[in-house]
């Protein structure tokens, strides 16, 4: 079911400072910031040879990152996103295994314009896990 690792998402309190760290200190190729108000984040992509890191800063009220950054004020590793070829089949398999899909249990259109779902971290050994149909 799991195919490629689409991205690793890191929550950061200050996207400008994080961009400078990845660009200048770590010598990575880093995109311009992209505000995604529907998702409550501004994102910067760190483009690696085989996958990408998404640096996420809260945007607006009710950002899904607010609680995480309140607990981890310096930032930290937020979630992993794996690609699947059929998200409805993935959802059915997960639910049959007893896993909890966050929200109403149905895939949604994610930040890349593709169907995604998030699994409860308690069902994946503490790691918030996103699946994206590519």
Q: Pick from 44, 59, 63, 75 the residue near its own copies by CB under 8 A.
A: 75
d(CA 129, CA 120): 7
Measured from the CB atom, the residue of 113 and 126 that comes closer to its own copies is: 126
Tabulate helix, strand, coil % of the chain (nearest 5).
25, 35, 40
d(CA 105, CA 117): 8
26 interacts with its own copies by CB under 8 A: yes
Q: Give the nearest distance from C-beta 35 to its own copies in angstroms.
A: 19
134 interacts with its own copies by CB under 8 A: no
Cα radius of gyration rounded to whole Å, the chain: 15
Q: Pick from 36, 40, 66, 77 the residue near its own copies by CB under 8 A.
A: 77
Strand, helix or coil for residue 56: strand
**Polymer length in residues for the chain:** 134
Can you give the binding site for its own copies, defined by CB under 8 A?
A: 1-5, 8, 10-14, 17-18, 21-22, 24-28, 46, 48-51, 53, 55, 72, 74-77, 80, 82, 93-94, 97, 99, 121-127, 129
């Amino acid at each position: 079911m799991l195919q490629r690792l689409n991205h690793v998402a890191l929550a950061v309190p200050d996207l400008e400072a994080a961009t400078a760290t990845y660009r200048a200190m770590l010598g990575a190729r880093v995109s311009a910031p992209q505000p995604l108000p529907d998702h409550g984040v501004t994102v910067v992509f760190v483009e690696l040879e085989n996958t990408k890191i998404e640096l996420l800063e809260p945007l607006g009220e009710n950002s899904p990152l607010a609680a995480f950054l309140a607990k981890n004020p310096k930032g930290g590793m937020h979630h992993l996103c794996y690609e699947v070829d059929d998200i409805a089949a993935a959802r059915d398999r997960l639910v049959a295994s007893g896993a909890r899909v966050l929200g109403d249990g149905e895939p949604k259109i994610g930040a890349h314009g593709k169907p995604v779902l998030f699994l409860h971290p308690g069902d994946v050994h503490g790691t918030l896990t996103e699946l994206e149909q590519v």
